[in-house]
């Protein structure tokens, strides 16, 4: 998935990406061993890169980017201009599958230290979120804001059902057991903003 921009390897070696790799890995909930298995770079090397003890070659940086579901230019922030980052439709990170009936698109960019993300979910009739292929339960203190863009959904949160129609927007504590369900008969689309680490008052 990762492609190499036309920059000399020596220039890449001068780019310090350790803190960015660490932030992105933490954001994805990956251990060093997990990322090592995904990208084919040893956990020891990844640890040295994250601590700034070594600078990766162009080839190693490209492998790390692939393990983080990024292009190399995204990892090195070559796609960014100033304080504005644009994620084009073709560059959205996607998960889920037609078999599960739940398609997920991550619309926000993978910026280091970012504590919120915007996702788009499409649920087929009779399908719910929270399956084995879906992201794990959110960390303590996480809050979610969700807008039903199309169709109807039911939010089941902490044992209570909340029917939602097109245009409804719901805010809830996402560290509680929850899932969305599409009672049908048509596909439903949900936009969700997850803010990590917000404490309930």
Q: Rounded CA gap, 47 and 98, in Å? A: 36
Query: What does the mean pLDDT of the chain come to?
Result: 81
Question: pLDDT tens digits for 35-67?
Answer: 999 999 999 999 998 888 888 888 888 899 889
Once rounded to an integer, what is the mean pLDDT over residues 159-168? 95
Q: Rounded CA gap, 101 and 160, in Å? A: 23
pLDDT value of residue 146: 96
pLDDT value of residue 137: 62
- Would you list the DSSP string of 111-180? -TT--EEEEEEEE-TT-BS--TTSPPPPPTT-EEEEEEEES-EEEEETTEEEEE-TT-EEEEETTSSEEE
pLDDT at 149 over 80: yes
Domains of the chain, first to last: 9-75 (1.10.260.40), 89-195 (2.60.120.10)
Question: pLDDT tens digits for 173-183?
Answer: 988 889 999 99
> Who wins on pLDDT, 161 or 196?
161
pLDDT at 94 over 50: yes
């Amino acid at each position: 998935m990762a492609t190499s921009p036309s920059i000399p390897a020596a220039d890449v070696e001068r780019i310090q990406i350790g803190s960015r790799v660490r932030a992105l890995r933490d954001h994805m909930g990956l251990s060093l061993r997990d990322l090592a298995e995904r990208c084919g770079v040893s956990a020891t090397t990844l640890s040295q890169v994250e601590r700034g003890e070594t600078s990766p070659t162009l080839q190693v940086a490209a492998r790390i980017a692939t393990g983080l579901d990024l292009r190399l230019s995204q990892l090195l922030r070559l796609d960014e201009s100033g304080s504005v980052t644009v994620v084009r439709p073709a560059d959205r990170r996607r998960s889920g599958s037609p078999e599960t009936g739940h398609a997920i698109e991550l619309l926000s960019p993978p910026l280091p230290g970012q504590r919120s993300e915007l996702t788009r979910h499409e649920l087929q009739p009779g399908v719910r979120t929270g399956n084995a292929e879906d992201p794990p339960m959110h960390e303590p203190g996480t809050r979610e804001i969700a807008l039903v863009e199309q169709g109807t959904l039911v939010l089941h949160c902490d044992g209570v059902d909340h029917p939602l129609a097109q245009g409804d927007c719901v805010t809830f504590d996402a560290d509680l057991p929850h899932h969305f369900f599409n009672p049908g008969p048509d596909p439903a689309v949900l936009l969700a903003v997850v803010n990590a680490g917000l404490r309930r008052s």
